[in-house]
Amino acid sequence: MLPVFGHLNPDTDAITSALVYARLLTRQGTEARAYRLGELNFETPYVLREAGLDAPELLPELAAGSRVALVDHNESAQSVPNLADLTVTHVVDHHKLGDLSTAAPAYLRFEPVGCTGTILLKLHREANVSVEPVDAKLMLSAILSDTLHFRSPTTTQADRDAVDFLAPIAGVGDVETYALAMFAAKSDLGDTPAETLLKMDYKVFPFGDVAAPQRWGLGVVETTNPAYVFGRQAELLAAMASAKTQDGLDGILLSVVDILNETNRTLVPGEVEAAVVQAVFGADTTGNVADLGARISRKKQIVPALETHFAL
């Protein structure tokens, strides 16, 4: 049984892509099963309920040498702690290539599209495998989630075509209404502890010198209600300071992305971060907040800029 899983602090694409790819592999003769590497965000339970599915189980600890398939990530910092001891047999991903290495030839499918779900649809169609309604619902949801219903600059024509193809199979007549319901679920944060909010969509990236990289924690809260998040600014800044110490980071940022207005105002806890944000994005930090304008994609507009900065 081949375990299939997405990244730590899973988002909707990380969960649904594991489910869809596990089923596709199984239908193609490789028995596979989806797992998750952490707690769900607030959007994914809505999607799973709509699809009539339970969440995948947490990945148990795997023995060295175990075969695994990765979806929606490839960097070790975003995967299981013992990834280097495992045998990666498949990767389907739409992120930049990181430190992935494999002991034996692996099936690798990377495309610069907006969502892993878009690639998974291509895999179905290339293999002439029918797309089941439940899988269509999962892939459709992931694409709407990752691209913020095509608002993100990561969106490609392939993502739009995939949604057009999937919506009727999934039985989603009004894609806009469905996407807004997903975003509303995601924004309904209640009294979630600040530490949880910080880490809900959070990735650690090594930048600069490969031998001695700077490690930055980059969190994102995508919401239709940014005022709620800024109402908890003091708690979040405190959570960022302790995460920075606990995780041994060189810097930490939390971007609050207003989905409907397509803007990014980022929490900046200290002078180190403020100097980098000024140098990289030309943005001043006032009251621990920097206005990063329309840079709403961590993958396309935040990480590459920081990578270039620290490579110099």
Q: Which of residues 33-62 bind Mn ion (CB under 5 A)?
A: none
Closest contact distance (angstroms) between CB of 290 and Mn ion is 25
Residue among 72 and 201 whose Cβ is closer to Mn ion? 72
Among 76, 96, 8, which residue's Cα sits nearest to residue 308? Answer: 96
Residue among 95 and 232 whose Cβ is closer to Mn ion? 95
Closest contact distance (angstroms) between CB of 94 and Mn ion is 6
Among 56, 39, 83, 4, which residue's Cα sits nearest to residue 196? Answer: 39
What is the SS3 string spanning 260-302?
CCCEEEEECCCHHHHHHHHHHHCCCEECCEEECCCCCCHHHHH
User: Under 8 Å CB-to-CB from 157, ≥6 apart: which residues?
Assistant: none
- Phi-psi map region of 198: left, alpha, beta (phi>0 left; psi -120 to 50 alpha): alpha
Q: Residue with the closest Cβ to Mn ion? A: 13
User: Which secondary structure element, helix H or strand E, spans residue 198, and what is its range?
Assistant: helix 194-199
By the 10 Å C-beta count (0-12 exposed, 13-18 middle, 19+ buried), 215 is classed as middle
Measured CA to CA, the distance from residue 237 to residue 242 in angstroms comes to 9
User: Under 8 Å CB-to-CB from 287, ≥6 apart: which residues?
Assistant: none
Measured CA to CA, the distance from residue 302 to residue 65 in angstroms comes to 35
By the 10 Å C-beta count (0-12 exposed, 13-18 middle, 19+ buried), 109 is classed as middle
Closest contact distance (angstroms) between CB of 187 and Mn ion is 19
From 37-45, 143-151, 178-186, 203-211, give the range in contact with Mn ion by CB under 5 A: 143-151
From 9-17, 51-59, 181-189, 278-286, give the range in contact with Mn ion by CB under 5 A: 9-17
Question: Is residue 222 within the footprint of Mn ion (CB under 5 A)?
Answer: no
Residue among 98 and 270 whose Cβ is closer to Mn ion? 98
From 21-29, 39-47, 140-148, 221-229, give the range in contact with Mn ion by CB under 5 A: 140-148
Contacting Mn ion (CB under 5 A), which of 135, 146, 201, 222? 146
Q: How remote is the C-alpha of 85 from its chain's centroid?
A: 24
Question: Is residue 72 within the footprint of Mn ion (CB under 5 A)?
Answer: yes
Question: Is residue 75 within the footprint of Mn ion (CB under 5 A)?
Answer: no
Question: Is residue 13 within the footprint of Mn ion (CB under 5 A)?
Answer: yes
How many residues form the binding site for Mn ion (CB under 5 A)? 4
From 36-44, 116-124, 151-159, 213-221, give the range in contact with Mn ion by CB under 5 A: 116-124
Measured CA to CA, the distance from residue 12 to residue 33 in angstroms comes to 17
Question: Is residue 93 within the footprint of Mn ion (CB under 5 A)?
Answer: no
Closest contact distance (angstroms) between CB of 190 and Mn ion is 25
Site map (CB under 5 A) of Mn ion, residues 229-268, x = contact: ----------------------------------------
| Residues that bind Mn ion in the complex, under the rule CB under 5 A | 13, 72, 116, 146
